[in-house]
Amino acid sequence: MPIIQFDGGSMSKEDKVKLAAKLTEAANSVLPNIPKEAFTVVIKENNPDNIAVGGTLLSDRK
């Protein structure tokens, strides 16, 4: 069971549905011997207060 993990910001359910479908399609196009039903997509929504780039929280960047 291949797992695709996506970490990003908050998104709507509709966007999550589209993202999961497109990630699955892309993975299946590269790995056609694995059925689409075998792919698991995990979407992690991250708060900008919990991520820093270059030592600065995303919530503090402008």
Q: What is the pLDDT of residue 25?
A: 98
Q: What is the pLDDT of residue 62?
A: 75
Contact present, 8 and 46 (Cβ < 8 Å): yes
Tens-digit pLDDT profile for residues 31-53: 999 999 999 999 999 999 999 99
In which band, very low, low, confident or very high, does the pLDDT at 16 lie, cut at 50, 70 and 90?
very high
Domain boundaries defined on the chain: 3-60
Q: What is the pLDDT of residue 8?
A: 93
Note the pTM of the prediction, 2 decimals. Answer: 0.83
Q: What is the pLDDT of residue 37?
A: 97
Three-state secondary structure along the chain?
CCEEEEEECCCCHHHHHHHHHHHHHHHHHHCCCCCHHHCEEEEEECCHHHCEECCEEHHHCC
3-60: CATH, from 3.30.429.10, 3.10.310.70, 3.10.20.80, 3.40.50.300: 3.30.429.10
